[in-house]
Structure formats: C-alpha cells, structure tokens
Amino acid sequence: MSISMYLASVPPILRALTNLRAILEKAATHAEAKKIAPSVLVNARLYPDMFPLSRQVQTATDTAKGAVSRLAGMEPPKYEDNESTFPELVARIDKTIALLETFKPEQIDGSEDKTITLHMHDRTITFKGMPYLLDNVLPNFYFHVVTAYAILRHNGVEIGKKDFLGKIS
C-alpha cells in the first residue's frame, strides 16, 4: 500500500502549523502574565548563531508554502518576512494555512517524479518530487517548528510534548 503525496505533505504540515499557532498564542499569554516584553520571546534564540523565534516561524511557513506550491507546479507566493510580534507571526501562519487549504489532492498526487528545482544562494539543486518532500521539505519544516517550540520552552513558556503534537485523534 502506498501513501499519496498529498497525504504525506498537506495534512501533516497543516497539523504542525496549527499546533505552532497554538504554541505562539500560549507564548503571548505567558509573556503578558509574567510581564515579559513579547519582543524578548519573539527575538529569542537558542544560541547566538541560530535564527530567532520570528525567523524560525518565517522559515517554517516558507518551507510549507513553497513545498506544496512546487509539488502542485505553481510558483510559491512571497511573504515580506517582516513579522516582529506574536499577532503578526500568528497571522503569517493563518495565511499559510489558508493557502495550503486551497490545494486539492489531485494537484499534488502524482508529483513523485516531478522535477523540482531550487535556487539557493550560490547554487541550484534539483530533486524529484518524492525525495524533495521526504528528504528535504519535511525534515527542514519540522526542524524549524521544533526549534521554535524549543526556544519558547527554554524561555519558560509552559508547553510540552502534547502542545507540539496537538490533539491525537
């Protein structure tokens, strides 16, 4: 039995973005309750050479919208990457979720062997659809989502594994 490219991409990405949204809302509530300037958390990093929380969220949403758009044979929309508050980060996630919800299985299924070309800084990388999704997109997407979680947890936001995983049906 095989799994479709749509089922391997859109539903798990939507779930993780929905959970990340809830985590950011908890972080905003935490900052208010503890009298912490929200910008402290939005700009927090795990280590000085790592991206701050805001960039982790931006990169996760860029990875999500880029992957699904490319698998469907469309150009991904561009976002400004200027979010600096929790409401702005939540709005970015909402915009990405709304975009992903417009894709239908027939747009993504059958993309296993589609050629995907990424222009990255000083080089171009070419993938086939399945390895692009499984070896590049999903690990990269989850890396940034879990790093956002870890930044907030490290800074005292009371979140746990259940927040990261969300409701299990």
Residue 69: is its pLDDT beyond 80?
yes
| Residue 1 or 26, more confident | 26
The DSSP secondary structure of 108-168, one letter per residue, reads HTT-TT-EEEEEETTEEEEEEHHHIIIIIIHHHHHHHHHHHHHHHHHTT----HHHHH---
What average pLDDT does this structure show over 151-162?
97
Radius of gyration of the chain (CA): 16
**pLDDT band for position 72 (cuts 50, 70, 90):** very high
pLDDT at 121: 86
Report, as an integer, the average pLDDT of 47-62.
98
User: Domain 5-105+115-165: what homologous superfamily?
Assistant: dinb family like domain (1.20.120.450)
The CA dihedral of 25, 165, 51, 55, to the nearest 10 degrees, is -50
Q: Is the pLDDT of residue 109 over 90?
A: yes
> What is the rounded end-to-end Cα distance, in angstroms, of the chain?
22
- pLDDT score for 1: 59
Q: Both tokens of residue 124?
A: 């171009």
- Other Cβ atoms closer than 10 A to 154: 11
The model's pTM is 0.96
pLDDT of residue 131: 97
Q: Which pLDDT score is estimated for 89? A: 98
**What is the number of other CB atoms lying within 10 angstroms of the CB of residue 15?**
13
Average pLDDT along the chain: 96
